[in-house]
Structure 1
Amino acid sequence: MSRSFQVVLKKVVDHSYAIEIGERLFDSLIEDLQQGLVPNVSKYAIITDSTVEPLYGRPLLERLRLNGLEADLFSFPAGETSKTRETKALLEDQLLQRAYGRDSCIIAVGGGAVTDLAGFLAGTFGRGVPSLNYATTLLAAADASVGGKTGVNTPVATNLIGVFHQPRKVYIDLAAWRTLPAREFRSGLAETIKHACLGDAGFFSDLEENLGKVISDRGQLVLDAGVCERIALANCRIKYEVVEQDEHESNLRQILNLGHTAGRALEAVSGYTLLHGEAVAVGLVIQAKLGVKRGYMTEEQAERVIALLKKAGLPTDIPDQVSNRQLMDKMYTDKKVRSGRIRFVFQDGIGAMKRFADGSYSVPVEEAEVMEVLEEMRQL
């Protein structure tokens, strides 16, 4: 005879947080900490990478210490190839060596790789400690500032190991965009264009009209302040409208993977020689061309997407060194794969997403159908 005991753990959790958009936000961050944004914390760990460390990591460390806050800086080599379990373990060991415990707060300073890795670390260190994100790139502002998805890459797949961990606040420093190489900024524009494609036809038209005010036809950064602020706000708003309804990606949130089924695969197969946004741009083209064949969008709408990506200086072709077979095989590691079948999310025209008869936003696509589009892209 056996007995059972019911463990009841029902609770309502408020994961709300603010996103502050502006220039040079260190003073705001320190004021927030002094006013109790993160209570019961005695030590702050700044997590950054080797590129951002001298520009923002060390200056923030000095400011925190000048204001009487105990803080240390932890840095790892810049780049997506460092976003691994091994890097996370090294950082955890360094935190432990400096006596960080559950009274710690993680401050992630940098781009998407930093916020992904630092957020995952915060979600598991001491079984979860509070974190703040100080986003210094457009990619981090577009992709990592809303939603709380954190994770690392493995040789097999990207971002399949991680946790949902919401920051206490996000700071988007528009001044930092002026320190970005043009290629990095363009990479962030890919996620921005993705958001317009999936959620806001008006924003898409705004980008078509005003993209030249942030980046020139020759690929030089212009960064008109008003347009940059509009881009940052629109990215946050569109992503929030999705995440609010589906925090843990049970269905609707899959639409944020637009362009990512092929894009993440291409990023990995390229050995991360392609930046995330560059790979996603090609993934958006593959999705659009598949969508035309399936009747989800018109040829003209697909051409508008491709033209906007090109205007941003982003690639729209599969690199010659990546074979269709390599790309196809890597798509099978996508987290939307179910029962060995690759699934895509699709635009419904421009500014909306296709919802299928079963209520799902993703749909299985046969390998032959994808291969046909890949072959056609090679011949253009």
Structure 2
Amino acid sequence: MTPATHQPSAAGQVHARVEIDLGERSYPILIGSSLLDDPATWSGLPKAASALIVTNETVGPLYAARLQQALRPHYPQVHVLSLPDGEAYKTWDSLNLIFDALLSRGCDRKTVLFALGGGVVGDMTGFAAACYMRGVPFVQVPTTLLAQVDSSVGGKTAINHPLGKNMIGAFYQPVRVVCDLDTLQTLPERELSAGLAEVIKYGPIHDLAFLDWIEANLPALRAREPKALAYAVQRSCEIKAEVVGQDEREAGLRAILNFGHTFGHAIEAGLGYGEWLHGEGVGCGMVMAARLSQRLGLLAEDKVERLVRLVDAAGLPVRGPQLKAGHGEDCADLPNAQRYLQLMRVDKKAEAGEIKFVLVEDAGRAVVRGAPDALVAEVIDACCA
């Protein structure tokens, strides 16, 4: 799993290569600059008569034609499908647009899909690849910081349901992940901050030295300095590769990667998908999870405040929102904390209705455990005041 530096080709330069060790399904994460346009980046992938680039209306005009040109030496036909942009479109309808494109073009079971975009595009393309003809190969080409450091790695694919985020999906690994750092230069500031939430999470749960590094280099990261971004992506991928290699299907250890996500997913679903970005929900969710950790005696107050300052400095919300009422008589008049609890009971980590939280300890370790509803409600109320 140790990254190895590679010699640059004429077009692209690989800064690091991180391996996801899953036996026969192992694959590399390539991290570097100018990788998108370099035909060598795409050599050695499964052979096929056709490839389909799935992108969205924002990313497509920037990068789709360039990727299409780079893939043409490897695939006789390279098609492009552009989806609506945003979390609100991570739905069955958008998924069916991918199947429509594949079937209408006569794509066979060897067709390779390329997910060009952020986490929404990556999740939906991976899910489509898992389902089409019972499984076709796909490649992740993440263009956001959040996707490069988290969602493109590890094989989680899904769409959203109105009652819960990422509740319908499959574990399905890509054959390669290509992180072209140059694409981060076109990210809106809000999207960059959202990605920093997923970078920050790796520190408290696994690597306190990395947390120190993030604190020291946060101005450089927000200024998009290439060396800082390269290391942030590399170290994040190394940590995720280590965890996924030990627990691919989240039977135990991998759950720690969801630090902040139980609260964050409730925020996304409770506000309506797209109102807050995923990383914004995670950032605020980490604050809530840290305060719950403190109330349970796991984390000292100064460590909580350190995390709150870092999340705030990254440009992320540290106060929770008031959620919208749900549908039906059982939730129309619920207090805000009870609405959070209701949504969190639909979380994938919940067991028999008991909500499981990823909490952190002073030593930089994560634990997954439940907590009394009354205590969780107190934390929510305090964080949403």
State TM-score, norm by structure 1.
Answer: 0.89
Counterpart Cα distance in 1 of 2:174 and 2:282: 25
State TM-score, norm by structure 2.
Answer: 0.88
> What corresponds to 2:45 in structure 1?
37
Q: Compare 321-330 and 113-122 and name the one that shifted more.
A: 321-330
> What corresponds to 1:129 in structure 2?
136
1:183, CA displacement in angstroms? Answer: 0.1
1:67, CA displacement in angstroms? Answer: 6.5
Does 1:75 find its partner at 2:82? yes
1:63, CA displacement in angstroms? Answer: 3.5
Post-superposition Cα deviations, 1:84-136, rounded to whole Å, max 9, x if no partner, equal 12211121022101111102000110111111110011111111011111111
> What corresponds to 2:345 in structure 1?
332
Structure 1: gaps spanning 5 or more residues: 1-11, 216-221, 355-361
The structure 1 residue matched to 2:313, chosen from 291, 311, 314, is 311
Q: 1:209 to 1:241 in 2, by over 3 A?
A: same
Does 1:240 find its partner at 2:246? no
Counterpart Cα distance in 2 of 1:348 and 1:59: 46
The structure 2 residue matched to 1:177, chosen from 174, 179, 184, is 184
Counterpart Cα distance in 1 of 2:316 and 2:305: 14
Post-superposition Cα deviations, 1:343-378, rounded to whole Å, max 9, x if no partner, equal 111112263213xxxxxxx21222111101112224
1:228, CA displacement in angstroms? Answer: 0.7
Counterpart Cα distance in 1 of 2:27 and 2:239: 16
CA contact (8 A) 1:79 1:113 kept: yes
1:325, CA displacement in angstroms? Answer: 2.8
Does 1:49 find its partner at 2:56? yes
Counterpart Cα distance in 2 of 1:259 and 1:61: 37
> What corresponds to 1:150 in structure 2?
157
> What corresponds to 1:278 in structure 2?
280
Counterpart Cα distance in 2 of 1:197 and 1:57: 36
Q: Which amino acid aligns with 1:352?
A: R
Counterpart Cα distance in 1 of 2:361 and 2:87: 31
1:321, CA displacement in angstroms? Answer: 5.5
Does 1:210 find its partner at 2:217? yes
Does 1:292 find its partner at 2:294? yes
Counterpart Cα distance in 1 of 2:144 and 2:375: 36
CA contact (8 A) 1:301 1:350 kept: no
Counterpart Cα distance in 2 of 1:350 and 1:148: 29
The structure 2 residue matched to 1:347, chosen from 360, 367, 374, is 360
Q: Which amino acid aligns with 1:345?
A: V
Give the secondary structure class of the aligned counterpart of 2:114.
Answer: strand
Which has the larger share of strand?
A: 2
Counterpart Cα distance in 2 of 1:295 and 1:368: 16
1:59, CA displacement in angstroms? Answer: 2.4
> What corresponds to 1:369 in structure 2?
375
Counterpart Cα distance in 1 of 2:371 and 2:202: 22
Counterpart Cα distance in 1 of 2:23 and 2:228: 35
Structure 2: gaps spanning 5 or more residues: 1-21, 325-335
CA contact (8 A) 2:37 2:66 kept: no
Give the secondary structure class of the aligned counterpart of 2:200.
Answer: helix
Counterpart Cα distance in 1 of 2:75 and 2:28: 24
Give the secondary structure class of the aligned counterpart of 2:158.
Answer: coil
CA contact (8 A) 1:141 1:232 kept: yes
> What corresponds to 2:118 in structure 1?
111
Counterpart Cα distance in 2 of 1:155 and 1:104: 31
Counterpart Cα distance in 1 of 2:85 and 2:154: 23
Counterpart Cα distance in 1 of 2:251 and 2:185: 37
Q: 1:149 to 1:314 in 2, by over 3 A?
A: same
Counterpart Cα distance in 1 of 2:187 and 2:86: 14
Counterpart Cα distance in 1 of 2:379 and 2:289: 9
Give the secondary structure class of the aligned counterpart of 1:119.
Answer: helix
Q: Which amino acid aligns with 2:249?
A: H
> What corresponds to 2:16 in structure 1?
none
Give the secondary structure class of the aligned counterpart of 2:157.
Answer: coil
Q: Compare 369-378 and 206-215 and name the one that shifted more.
A: 369-378
CA contact (8 A) 2:33 2:182 kept: yes
> What corresponds to 1:223 in structure 2?
224
CA contact (8 A) 1:198 1:350 kept: no
Aligned-pair identity (%): 39
Counterpart Cα distance in 2 of 1:205 and 1:248: 30
Give the secondary structure class of the aligned counterpart of 1:153.
Answer: strand
Counterpart Cα distance in 2 of 1:59 and 1:230: 25
CA contact (8 A) 2:267 2:321 kept: no
Which contiguous aligned blocks of 4+ residues in structure 1 show a shift greater than 3 angstroms? 65-69
Aligned Cα root-mean-square deviation (Å): 1.6
CA contact (8 A) 1:204 1:351 kept: no
